[in-house]
Amino acid sequence: MAKGQQPLNGKRVAFLAADGMEEVEYTQPRAAAEQAGAEVHLISLASGEVQSMNQDIVPANRYPVDRTVDQVDPADYDALVLPGGTVNPDRLRMNPAAMDFVRAFFEQDKPIAAICHGPWSLVETGIVNGRTVTSYPSLRTDIHNAGGNWVDQQVQVDNGLITSRSPKDLPAFCDRMVEEFAEGRHTHPLATA
């Protein structure tokens, strides 16, 4: 992105995360979205702060929650980001309101970006059914069992669904995330749960 370009100007992006999110999988995509002009909100299961981690086991920083999942309407946002970390998406997928929030973006044809273990929410909601995605390699069987096609590449885009494998893929993930979010809605056939 050239200096001064703000392709996400006027767009609102939700980051859905719980305690255990991987630090760089939150901070780098958030910075990319904000530098591209987006207004970003951290949405979580409870008010207060979210504890981020480095490599799942080393506590990193705490980030203030802007809104809880039961306080927001997906219609108020243009796109969704699902950071990874093993614990974070595992907590999210056990929360029906969080999964309804994720599913609503898909049903409204809005782009969703998920990295590392973030695609667990896509599995839980049925969004991966019939889609080609990537993720941390340990999710491969989960994605296949949910009807998705798993590929091993740094970033995969399937009609507004942006996925990547791990923090080493963040540069490509952030670039494609901004590009797809700038394009806006992506009409697609609904997946079945």
pLDDT digits (tens, 9 = 90+) for 56-77: 999 999 999 999 999 999 999 9
Instruction: Tell me if 120 sits within 8 A of 88, measured CB to CB.
Output: no
Does the residue 2 lie in any domain?
Answer: no
Rounded to whole angstroms, the Cα distance separating 104 from 138 reads: 26
User: Per the domain annotation, does 34 fall within a domain?
Assistant: yes
**Which residue range(s) make up the domain with 25?**
12-183
Provide the residue type at 112 as one letter. Answer: I
Averaged confidence pLDDT in the chain? 94
Paired tokens of 162: 């942006």
The share of the chain scoring above pLDDT 90, in percent, equals 93
User: E strand or H helix at 13, and its extent?
Assistant: strand 12-16
Q: Is residue 189 part of a domain?
A: no
Q: Say if 3 falls within a structural domain.
A: no
Catalytic residue among 41, 117, 186, 188: 117
Q: How far apart are CA 139 and CA 134, in angstroms?
A: 9
Interacting residues of 171 by C-beta distance below 8 A, sequence separation 6+: none
The answer to whether position 99 is within a domain reads yes
Q: Which of 41, 116, 144, 188 is catalytic?
A: 116
Residue 116 among the catalytic residues = yes
Q: Is 43 exposed, middle or buried (0-12, 13-18, 19+ CB in 10 A)?
A: buried
117 is a catalytic site residue: yes
pLDDT tens readout for residues 120-144: 999 999 999 999 999 999 999 999 9
77 lies in some domain:
yes
- Count of the separate structural domains present in the chain: 1
Domain with residue 94: its CATH number is 3.40.50.880
Instruction: Give yes or no for residue 193 having a pLDDT over 80.
Output: no
- Res 41 pLDDT > 70: yes
